[in-house]
Structure 1
Amino acid sequence: MNTPKPVPSRPYAWVSTIAIVWGGELFSVLTSSIVQMGLIWHIAAQGGSAGTITLASMAGFLPLALIGPFAGVIVDRHPITATLIGSDLFIAAISLVVAMAALLGHAPVWLIMASLFLRAIGSSLHTPAFNALTPMVAPAEQLGRLSGIAQCVQSLGYIAGYAMAAVLYPIFGLGVMALIDVVGALVASLAVWMTRLTTYVRPVSTTATDSEGLSVAVGRMLSETRDGFRVLRADSGLFALLICGFAFSLVISPVSALFPVMCLDHFNSGTSGAATAEVAFSAGMLVSSLVIGATGGFRRRVVSVELATVTYGVATLIAGSAAPSMFPAFLASAVVMGFSSPLYSAPQIALIQERIAPEYLGRVFGLYGSLMAWALPLGTAVSSLFVDSVGATVWFMGSGVAILALAVTMVLIPSIRAIDDGDRHA
């Protein structure tokens, strides 16, 4: 079913709406990055082992992986603005509890673990709602450009947040960092509230009612999740592309995790070299996001995805082939890998926004987020079984070959080749 967008009271009113919401989002991503690093460093400062820190990382991803599809049902049932504000305020409440505990001098590891898990629940609602909001406000022809700008906003927030966290934690500690995050969530909520947006809400008759029992409500939620999957599966090109996207993420996640190993063990560049490589990758991402935001990217989304896959594969292969004396070549490869990432992910998000009807966007983005969230632990787990025996350089080269093979596979799938020619929901 096609649902018209709210009619703006003046031309280009959507620009100011997007600017206000994304301005709040930039501030929220910045403060969330600050406290996220603070939480991990606090665990390390409390004597947490590598296993404990790994568990903390798992706590931050499990909600998105496990409840992402069901969170999408909630997004589709309720006004997106209410979901965005509600999830931000929920995260703010968690940060406030952590701040109070830290300022009182009692923030045990179990509390930090619980806060990471609960914050991730809030994010599992916020992320699909945020992605579903844009196509309900902006014209379809602007979605590619806006997807690039969104990635730029997030990249800026992450880069600046991590840098600020390194300064704030030694001076002020976790308590102040958590309070900053409370302010960030409140700013983001205020930004959404200021827009007074009216977005699509499914008819009440299709949602659960208060009179239904728990089993009926759960059954209805499962049924609505399946509806979202059926809508996604019905678009053969988009479905195939997302499966390929999962395979792509599965391969590149261990590569990203092995950056420090390559820098420290193969190139002997020390921790400064490892930090430089991460900055190089982030810089590539930021430049790519800016280019997509400025130009809208390739007119045919599939060209962008294919180019990104080939480029990432070649760069990974070169990085693994570089001799210990060729650290600059590794840094150049890191820039190219970073540049390729938005070229791949931004068109994927734009295609979902263009091709999925508004009443299913939350569920489809929930499924998409859950699928991609599983790629990180699965890819890292597989690599951990073999990387010690084959070495990081061989793993890099093998990953490069695998990515190039994936690029060939995508070319051979007719529905992916024709994805830009298919009908859109509106």
Structure 2
Amino acid sequence: MLKSQNWKTKFILLWSGQAVSILTSSVLQMALVWYLTEKTGSAAILSFATLIGFLPQAILGTFIGVYIDRYNRKTIMIVSDLLIAAASLVLVVVGFWRDLPIWMIMAVLFIRSIGTAFHYPSLQAVTPLIVPKDQLTKYAGYSQSFESVSMVASPAIAAVLFGLWDLNIIVLLDVGGALFAVLMLCIVAIPNLPRQSHSTAPHVIKEVKAGLSILKQEKGLTSLLAISALYAVIYFPIGTLYPLITMTYFGGTFAQSSLVEVVFSVGMLLGSLLLGMFGGKINKAKAISGSIALYGAGVMLTGLLPPTGLAVFVFLSALMGISVPFYTGVETSILQMKIKEEYLGRVLSLSSSISMVAMPLGLVLSGTFAEVIGVEKWFFILGVLTLLLAVVSAMMPSLKHCCDS
């Protein structure tokens, strides 16, 4: 499909809207965590809120791609953003009259997660309709730069606003971010997929199987998704354990725990910019295995540090952050390049769903073992396992084929 000559302008407009929405959503997410902590002081409530936040994406992700591939992806994104904004607006209205009830926050988190389950794979599936295929890896770096800037700024903004405003006002800010993203989407002209015959209602299971069949036809992509699932089991829990190892093992403060998160996000931003600069020239298979290896080395070395090694951990966090875009950005660009555009929604949703399903397994394992053997020892074990995964990925011929053919 021929791309418009002004595709760079479209990309910037699209992702500037998404960046603002991601920023306001990240600010709200942190504010909600602090609000629930302040009101309940319950780890169980926080865990349940986390579960509510990703469960719809994990369950629905496999099937949502069918609708993303059948219908207009731009419209799906707009409707998803408006659904998220409408759900959040309920909190704004209620918050003017009374304290926000916990059950209502949980319900809104659930609805927002459903909207995200439709929105995110649609966004990733829209990108190759705008960006030429030979530029996808490079611009995956730039899109992750937009996300990383939001992640860097959101902790500081959330800390200031949470001290000044009521939660419902912060929610209103997020509603504004969603509406700005919708405005940018309305401005950007996104090419439609070739019209297919959809005279009947979707046969979801049949169309999911069709997407899986396309996935299997591309040699090495099933290996890539298997590596992604195994990495998700390891990767997600490590981030969850950052505050624990910072404050319990290294004896850090809340401020130092926030510093670790910010430094990691700055590392991600730097890695995203590097991917944007050199993404068109890198060896994708080596980028994936190298990213996993660098992250694993950082985690393993963290586990070997003495309790006085907080400063070194902060440095290692920056290196681990740099590694992340060279995995996530490259993986997404491979799928965007290899899968036909009319099947891309299904494959991207499936990939996201696999990671979401793997996440709770990793969280349960990490929570159990970190408690029993100590968080620093569990970091060392996870680091070793991650390095082994990097070796396995580097030795898989099928993975090399799908990355570099």
**In which range does the TM-score fall when normalised by the shorter chain?**
over 0.9
Deviations 1:183-218 (A, max 9, x none): 11111111111113232155133x634xxxxxxx5x
Partner of residue 327, structure 1: 310
Matches within 5 A, 1:50-199: 50-199=43-192
3-state secondary structure, aligned to 1:105: coil
Code of the residue aligned with 1:290 in structure 2: it is: L
- The answer as to whether partners of 2:126 and 2:190 remain within 8 angstroms in 1 is no
User: For the residues of structure 1 that align with 2:255 and 2:39, how far apart are their CA atoms?
Assistant: 25
Deviation at 1:403? Answer: 0.9
> Are positions 1:379 and 2:372 aligned together?
no
Code of the residue aligned with 1:66 in structure 2: it is: I
Which segment drifts farther, 128-137 or 270-279? 270-279
Deviation at 1:238? Answer: 1.6
> Are positions 1:344 and 2:327 aligned together?
yes
Partner of residue 213, structure 1: none
Deviation at 1:298? Answer: 4.6
Code of the residue aligned with 2:134 in structure 1: it is: E
Which segment drifts farther, 261-270 or 372-381? 261-270
Deviation at 1:400? Answer: 1.2
Partner of residue 265, structure 2: 282
- Of 395, 408, 426, 2:391 maps to 408
Aligned residues: 405
- The answer as to whether partners of 1:78 and 1:201 remain within 8 angstroms in 2 is no
Relative distance call for 1:339 and 1:39 in structure 2 (3 A) is same
- The answer as to whether partners of 1:76 and 1:202 remain within 8 angstroms in 2 is no
Matches within 5 A, 1:200-349: 200=193, 202-205=195-198, 208-209=200-201, 220-296=203-279, 298-349=281-332
3-state secondary structure, aligned to 2:40: coil
User: For the residues of structure 2 that align with 1:208 and 1:165, how far apart are their CA atoms?
Assistant: 47
3-state secondary structure, aligned to 2:306: coil
3-state secondary structure, aligned to 2:200: coil
User: For the residues of structure 1 that align with 2:45 and 2:133, how far apart are their CA atoms?
Assistant: 45
3-state secondary structure, aligned to 1:351: helix
Which segment drifts farther, 103-112 or 261-270? 261-270
CA-atom RMSD in angstroms: 1.6
Deviations 1:113-156 (A, max 9, x none): 00000000000000000001111111111101111111111111
Percentage of identical aligned residues: 33
Structure 2 spans left out of the alignment, 5+ residues: none
Partner of residue 37, structure 2: 44
- The answer as to whether partners of 1:298 and 1:304 remain within 8 angstroms in 2 is no
User: For the residues of structure 2 that align with 1:160 and 1:411, how far apart are their CA atoms?
Assistant: 35
Structure 1 stretches of at least 4 aligned residues deviating more than 6 Å after TM superposition: none
Code of the residue aligned with 2:50 in structure 1: it is: S
Deviation at 1:102? Answer: 1.0
TM-score (ref. length: structure 1): 0.91
